[in-house]
Amino acid sequence: MDDRFNTAAGWVLFAGIIALGGSIVSGMYFHADDGGLPEGVEPGYFIEGEESEGGADAGPDLGTLLANADAAAGERVFAKCTACHTIDQGGANGIGPNLYGVMGKAIAGGAAGFAYSSALSEKGGQWTWENMDAWLTSPRGFANGTKMSFAGLGKPEDRANVMEFMATYGGAPAKPEPAAPEEEVVEGEDAPGAGPGPVEGAEVGAAEAAGGMSADQPVAADNAATDNEGATKVD
């Protein structure tokens, strides 16, 4: 029995010595401590990730979106809302309030008899186009603590179309005007008053004055003389 135990223990000890020695040798070969590569081993290719761009383009302003809004398209998007809301005049409140004529009305005051959340009741103000756009973007972001569980509409065009559809059910405030397009300045193009030419209020030299004359206008010579009657003679 003792001989078998000693033999097994010897093999275990021998295996441990081999494993330890192999670990040391492999570490020296592969340069585990300095992160280098074995001699003759070429590094692989590194895949570079694309650099993130700056902030995403904000897209068209709200006025421009509303000017091009489509109520029919908004009705299709509004189908997501019908599980909680009605919009017909006299429609009953559901999980959410009836939305007839909600555009332009007081926030948390459009539907009689509906128990609005305190977060929305304390918001104040009216359902302007801007407020409704912010609400449809993220209800919880607009009024933290609202009971509305809908996450929001991520596409600005969808929000504009839904608001256009809602506005057909009752009055709505005037839409914001589209932002005026920015004038493009072509590189190298002279701005008004820039470049060569006389400047108003500045003295004009002889060369500049001559250059400003038309080709048909005579230019007095340097050796011009004046007769007794004041007439100018040109040699």
pLDDT 10s digits, 22-79: 766 565 655 545 545 455 544 433 333 333 333 334 689 999 999 999 999 999 999 9
What does the DSSP assignment read for the chain? -HHHHHHHHHHHHHHHHHHHHHHHHHHHHTTTTTT---TTPPP-PPPPPPPP-SSPP--S-HHHHHHT--HHHHHHHHTTTTTT---STTPPP-SS---TT-TTSBTT-SSTT----HHHHTT-SB--HHHHHHHHH-HHHHSTT-S--------HHHHHHHHHHHHTSS--PPPPPPPPPPPPPPTTPPPTT-SSS--TTS---HHHHHHHS-TTS----TT-EE-TTS-EE--
Residue type, 138: S
Instruction: Provide the CA 163 distance to its chain's centre, in angstroms.
Output: 21
Q: What is the per-residue pLDDT across 194-231, written as a single tens digit (0 to 9) for each?
A: 555 555 555 555 555 545 444 454 445 555 444 444 44
Q: Which pLDDT does position 104 carry in this prediction? A: 93
Q: Which pLDDT does position 57 carry in this prediction? A: 46
Is 128 in contact with 197 (CB distance < 8 Å)?
A: no
Higher-pLDDT residue of 124, 192: 124
N-term to C-term CA, the chain: 143
Structure tokens that stand for 113 in this block: 């008899």
235 has pLDDT over 50: no
Selecting from 1.10.760.10, 3.40.190.10, 2.60.40.10, 1.10.3720.10, what CATH number does the domain 62-167 have? Answer: 1.10.760.10
pTM given for the model:
0.55
